[in-house]
Amino acid sequence: MTADQLYHDPELAQFYDAENEWTDGLEYCRRLAAPCASVLDLGCGTGLFAATLAQEGHCTVAGADPAAAMLDIARVRSGGHLVRWLPADARTLRLDERFDLIVLTGHAFQVFLTRDDQAAVLRTIASHLRPGERFIFDSRNPLVEEWKEWTPEQSQRTLAHPQLGAIEAWNDVSRDAASGVVSYDSYYRVKASGRLYSARSPIAFPAQGQLAELLQEAGLRATSWLGGWDERPCTADAPEIIVMGTLRT
């Protein structure tokens, strides 16, 4: 799996927070973390969730991500000094400790394109989860075919960057029918200067049945399948596949 420049290139990583503010998913995970003494945020990105949680002071927080450019942003954000940041890949991370909650949000699971990679991530979760405690991750429902909306015409938006000002942003997309992998292009044009930044990002759309098989093989058990962060059921027309579970005994 090659490094995605959208996250690894500092010039592109700087747009992440402008695109991704506090979400319903992060708020949901924040409530899950309330009774926990320790939390591992896999694929923590720029660290908004991990730093926010650490500032609340009721648990220790570790955030893992392979992208140095994202962790550089995470370290200097408010609360960042309270988090243990780990420059690590979710497929291979191995710590000699276990956590009360493991989260993998923001559709980070979808950057793992093959079954082997997805299985490796779930084994990492199983290796670090305290018995009786919970994990949660999300993935877009392939049956909804959300990628069809990621066209230049439908994805036009304006972002506010703290230094660069207004940013015109849009996407384009293609899909490999054989593998089901979707590749989307992200474009950011600075209105003041006209400078254009771009990157291509491949992501997978595993089906619920595939995820269920992978969980079992990793020694994990799903306790609930949600179709959205509003706790709607995971039906064919639900936008999300959100898996919450524990170790299989």
The contacts of residue 169 (CB under 8 Å, 6+ apart) are 15, 19, 155, 156, 157, 158, 159, 186, 187, 188, 189
Residue 1 has pLDDT above 90, yes or no: no
Q: How far apart are CA 84 and CA 69, in angstroms?
A: 16
Q: How far apart are CA 241 and CA 112, in angstroms?
A: 15
Q: How far apart are CA 47 and CA 40, in angstroms?
A: 12
Q: Are 33 and 51 in contact (CB under 8 A)?
A: no
Residue 133 has pLDDT above 80, yes or no: yes
- Report the pLDDT value the prediction gives residue 141, as an integer from 0 to 100: 98
Residue 2 has pLDDT above 90, yes or no: no
Q: Are 9 and 149 in contact (CB under 8 A)?
A: no
Start-to-end C-alpha separation, the chain: 32
Q: What percent of the chain has pLDDT over 90?
A: 98
Return phi, psi of residue 193, to 5°. -110, -20
- Report the pLDDT value the prediction gives residue 45, as an integer from 0 to 100: 96
Q: How confident is the model at residue 249 (pLDDT cuts 50, 70, 90)?
A: confident
Sheet of 60-65, strand order = 84-87, 60-65, 38-42, 99-104, 129-140, 240-247, 220-226
Q: How far apart are CA 226 and CA 233, in angstroms?
A: 5
- The pair of structure tokens assigned to 191 is 């209105």
pLDDT tens string 134-151 = 999 999 999 999 999 999
Quote the mean pLDDT of the chain.
Answer: 97
pLDDT tens string 162-208 = 999 999 999 999 999 999 999 999 999 999 999 999 999 999 999 99
- Report the pLDDT value the prediction gives residue 108, as an integer from 0 to 100: 97
Q: Are 173 and 151 in contact (CB under 8 A)?
A: yes
pLDDT tens string 33-73 = 999 999 999 999 999 999 999 999 999 999 999 999 999 99
Q: Are 157 and 167 in contact (CB under 8 A)?
A: no
Q: How far apart are CA 66 and CA 189, in angstroms?
A: 26
Q: How far apart are CA 227 and CA 241, in angstroms?
A: 5
How many C-beta neighbours within 10 Å does residue 107 have? 16
Q: Are 22 and 77 in contact (CB under 8 A)?
A: no
pLDDT tens string 66-104 = 999 999 999 999 999 999 999 999 999 999 999 999 999
Name the CA dihedral angle for 209, 215, 217, 219, rounded to a multiple of 10 degrees: -150
pLDDT tens string 206-235 = 999 999 999 999 999 999 999 999 999 999
